[in-house]
Chains A and B, each alone.
Chain A
Amino acid sequence: VFIGKEDFSMLNIITNKNDDVQEFNDSYFEFYTSMEKITEDDKRYIKDIDGSDFITADKIVTKFGETVLENISTGCKTMLNIVHHPEIIFSIVECGANVIDNIFELAKAEQSYTIYANRMILPSYFFLETPVMINGEKMNNTEEYVRWWEYGRD
């Protein structure tokens, strides 16, 4: 049970795609997020998710060689989109487990935001430490959350 966290951090998940959902994370990143200042936290996400080193926006050292910021993975772009624009509902359908872990960690860090998901997402340790709402319905624990995805969907 999530005691005391409800007031300041919450991961809101919506499962009905509407016009407010931004599913083109690559395009959004190129047009908006990549134009903004890349913070030390952003660099840590790039390292953690892609295993790449941010030197400058024009020099990202990946395991395949050097590239530019616009060529980081879609999952990493989604993460940075969420961090930079928590007011936008981004689709996470293209995100791998390594991004999902970071999404839950971000919600733990006293920030509320909303994402669109079409499948159950869980941290790799299979346990929710973050208060979660699905379509406005509050999930009180991991079991309730898993049960919602198994039986509660329309």
Chain B
Amino acid sequence: MLGGGNMAEINIKKTMKHDRINIENRKTRIELQFKDSLTFVTGDSGTGKTYTFNRLQVASTIEKEYEDMVFYTTNGRVDVEKMAKIENDIKSNKNKFVIIDHADIILNKGAREFIGKDINNQYLIFGRNTDDLCYYPEQIVKIVTMQKDKPVIVFNWNNE
């Protein structure tokens, strides 16, 4: 289900920090192509969402081109207070590539509404519930692994 907000409120001049991400280690390659400033990744369990999140987090610590990435995930118990803190923290980002795992647990309604309309940051979100976040089907994608010389994780924009 999509956000349900007023699409007229969405400014199409959004920030795109990265239109592609390519990272590789000894075991896998990750080749992600982005079409919107908000990409919501969903799909079956075990397809590599958290794996990709963790790999991006590692890449951001070592690759200068990814130093604009900021990461949010469950880290200990997430209660109402902590969700509010995450919401405020997300709202303080400027020109960042914000990457969120376990979005169904850590994002409250305020954070969702902000992200859905934010034009100053790019978002990559892993979760299931797109309420207040996604306004276009094109923002929602599944992640798949192709077996080549090594496993390659890509977005399946056809959502097949």
Verify that A and B bind, or say they do not: yes
Partner of B48, one of A27, A64, A97: A64
Give residues in A with beta carbon < 8 Å to B.
Answer: 23-24, 26-27, 49-52, 63-65, 72-76, 78, 93-99, 118-119
Q: Cβ of A73 and Cβ of B128 under 8 Å apart?
A: no
> B129 contacts which chain A residues (CB < 8 A)?
93, 118-119
Q: Can you name 26 A-B pairs with beta carbons within 8 Å?
A: A23-B105, A27-B74, A49-B44, A49-B46, A50-B45, A51-B46, A52-B46, A63-B145, A64-B27, A64-B51, A64-B151, A65-B27, A65-B28, A73-B45, A73-B46, A73-B47, A75-B44, A75-B46, A93-B105, A94-B45, A94-B104, A96-B44, A97-B44, A98-B46, A118-B129, A119-B129
The secondary-structure label for the interface of chain B is loop
Q: B34-81: which have CB < 8 Å to A?
A: 42-51, 74, 77-78
Report the bound CA distance from A40 to B117 in whole Å: 47
Q: Cβ of B145 and Cβ of A64 under 8 Å apart?
A: yes
Report the bound CA distance from A27 to B43 in whole Å: 22
Contact size class for B?
20 to 34
Flag whether B127 is at the interface (Cβ < 8 A): yes
Q: Cβ of A94 and Cβ of B102 under 8 Å apart?
A: yes
Q: Cβ of A96 and Cβ of B47 under 8 Å apart?
A: yes
Residue on A with the closest CB to B147? A63
